[in-house]
Amino acid sequence: MEWLDEYEKLVIRMNTPRVVIDNAVCSTATLVQVDSARKTGVLLEAVQVLADLDLSINKAYISSDGRWFMDVFHVTDRLGCKLTDDSVITYIEQSLGTWNGPARPAALEGLTALELTGADRTGLISEVFAVLADMDCAVVEARAWTHRGRLGCLVFLRDEEADTERMARIEARLGHLLRGDSTGAGGAVAAVPAAAVAHAERRLHQLMSADRDQEERAAAAAAASPTPAVSVQSWAERGYSVVTVQCRDRPKLLFDVVCTLTDMDYVVFHGTIDTTGDQAHQEFYIRHADGSPISSEAERHRVSQCLQDAIERRSLEGVRLELCTPDRPALLSDVTRTLRENGLLVAQAEVSTKGDMASNVFYVTDAAGHAVEQSAIDAVRQRVGMDCLVAREEHRLQLYQKAGPRDAVDGNGGGGGIGLFYLGNFVKRNLVSLGLIKSCS
């Protein structure tokens, strides 16, 4: 019936997310507000869009009680400025203004993804790319992280001859490489269609979590290494568990936290994010997907530990090497071998190609994980090309402050009372009107 069709159209219009991007409300940041009917994963989708654009989220307010969802983000670009590029603003509006979520890059369609995990060692990333080059594999995009002695890597291959037998040979060679002669946890390799990987960095978190990189924490604890302050506490009166994260701010921090909570099947009902100087404070009111709060001390500890690991995986101090050069076969193998031969350890790698150009980023340290000598950087640049390789110093390791006497770790997984101090802050805020605030204070 015609009136039913009109009713369905009205329902769609009412439930379609509404995105407002405003540069007038705040003097120092662009306000991005998303209102919609509540849907599973909508918070992660919104944060993912902003993170993929390398935008910094300085403040955020989250509310999704009942059937309605509202997010307010205060964002800046990498230079700390408001958003002025119309193409960026349009992309945010289009990505967040539908139920379809962020669009997958067209360049990844029809590719094969290799998922690798294993014990890290000096030169392993170089050896992985050398094997792929030796087997004539064309790498279109790749991400690699190292954390607590483990490697997680995701490689997208363009291979017109990617038949089952050939992929089996590639998996066998890489599996042997990753296992090595280690007596500890072995390596694993899996080839999947690129379409099965919804988001590369989210998948890396999942791979490294499944690989149990957090199990290395006991050995690291012996070195008395400080960790991000994460507190998980109960608010029984309202049926919430309260997760509080306090550490130094860095790019994509919110994405890593929300991604981890989502993949652990928790729903964020309310939250606040605040950045003061280089310090970030995040507070989330969560429940299980079935509506129940965290019920045991063991589960609180697990949530705290997984969040600490997620924050640390992308956190390091070193030199960022940016390579932009015409793509060619074995480029990655040659460049990473050059880094290894000059005593540089690749702690993270971000590889992408566009047309006939390769754009690669490597975060490097010395073999011991410390700052590299300038002479080593100069030697690499001389061999690779002074014009196409740029070095930038980055300090991203100290995401936390060393604990003082009052900051002793408590039984809830760290944070020693941080959550109790902020518990109830959210109740004092009227989130319904946050979209109309006139300042960032």
pLDDT digits (tens, 9 = 90+) for 183-228: 555 789 999 999 899 899 999 999 999 887 555 554 444 344 457 8
* For the chain, counts of helices (H) and of strands (E): 12, 16
Nearest partner of 364 among 409, 415, 318, 422, judged by Cα: 318
Q: What phi and psi values does residue 323 have, to the nearest 5 degrees?
A: -115, 120
Contact 170, 191 (CB under 8 A): yes
Q: What phi and psi values does residue 189 have, to the nearest 5 degrees?
A: -135, 135
Distance CA 63, CA 51 (A): 20
Task: Tell me if domain 2-96 and domain 112-197+315-395 are identical in fold.
Answer: yes
**Each residue's pLDDT tens digit, 90-107:** 999 998 877 666 666 666
pLDDT of residue 106: 63
**Each residue's pLDDT tens digit, 376-391:** 999 999 999 988 999 8
pLDDT of residue 369: 79
pLDDT of residue 399: 40
3-state SS, residue 356: coil
Angle between helices 86-96 and 42-52 (to 10 degrees): 160
Can you identify the CATH homologous superfamily of domain 112-197+315-395? Answer: ACT domain (3.30.70.260)
Choices 3.50.50.60, 3.30.70.260, 3.30.930.10, 3.40.630.30: CATH for 218-314+410-422: 3.30.70.260
Contact 267, 289 (CB under 8 A): yes
Contact 149, 157 (CB under 8 A): no
Describe the strand order of the beta sheet including 138-147 as a list of residue ranges: 188-193, 112-119, 150-158, 138-147, 344-354, 357-366, 317-326, 389-395
Among positive and negative, which fits the CA dihedral 36, 40, 44, 50?
negative
**Each residue's pLDDT tens digit, 39-76:** 888 899 999 999 999 999 999 999 987 678 889 999 99
pLDDT of residue 189: 93
Task: Supply the DSSP string of 196-258, one letter for each residue.
Answer: G-S-HHHHHHHHHHHTTGGGGHHHHHTTT----EEEEEEEGGGTEEEEEEEEE--TTHHHHHH
Domain coordinates in residue numbering, the chain: 2-96, 112-197+315-395, 218-314+410-422
Distance CA 365, CA 350 (A): 15
Distance CA 245, CA 8 (A): 42
Amino acid at 374: Q
**Each residue's pLDDT tens digit, 220-245:** 443 444 578 999 999 988 999 999 99
Is 0.85 surpassed by the pTM of this model? no
Taking the CB of residue 256, how many other CB atoms lie within 10 A of it? 25
Is CATH 3.40.50.170 what the domain over 2-96 is classified as, yes or no?
Answer: no
